[in-house]
Chains A and B, each alone.
Chain A
């Protein structure tokens, strides 16, 4: 593992430089440059098909799982390009965790769901240490009080909102630095959505969060920075505007951003 903290005062957790993503010969994302600040919540917004999910998935090399996908340009994490030859995507994903659109707990017990990451990574933990880590992660995801008496129950037995927080706890247990969230609330009811948003604010003290959302209010309510993406005439997604959320929503520089957030298209 070569990814040491090169500069602790580097304010950026992740930085994409001229990143393009291809599926076969189709360019899905065109030359995105984007620096994500540490311990902040950055929202990626834009109409369907604008490439925001693809950008998110490029940040922890989830696109590697699509056989035809290819990334050009650089994605820097601790100053190192995660797409450089010799970088193991397993190591990248361990440190840049992910929460998905639909809650996807493993069909295992709540405890085993959370303990999965530490186990596969071969962390030498005693039973007590593992218990502590599981508890801390579940507390971190604001789920502990609801499940502490039923840790051996199947994760699938929880409600949708609880399942999603279990997935967050599962991601926290690996102790990542960045958490990517791909529309984490789109399958949830409004109350569960609010809980997750509160949780994100809590988590931001210790983690950098990047969230893709369809929900304009969520972006304006729950994020520090907003990046707006749009499809160009070749159907390739590109970054239109990026800045502090308040500025993007109140005083967008680009006309297309204004049209989008005021609901005139998309």
Chain B
């Protein structure tokens, strides 16, 4: 694969292995057969997301996108998991247009994570 196909931010984010991975709320989308599988997880403390982390079977662009998104969500309110502006910063990664479908998998994982938050909150499992 042509190294020039990825910018420096993709390379930096790709190499940065996730450290934290919460467990209070989780969301998963996609599959290897679809070309990408993304898992997001976080803890919720005092109404804020913490230990936001991810796992991804995906191309470098999507791994970098997950990494950027996880960093942006640290300390955010759970509703921001589905904030339409959340993924705007991914423009910095210069993701090729043909990978739009994989970005939607990332978005679906975040939505699943929020749905899980809502479900757990409704059952009183979250403070």
A and B co-occur in one complex: no
Residues of chain A touching chain B, judged by Cβ–Cβ distance below 8 Å, are none
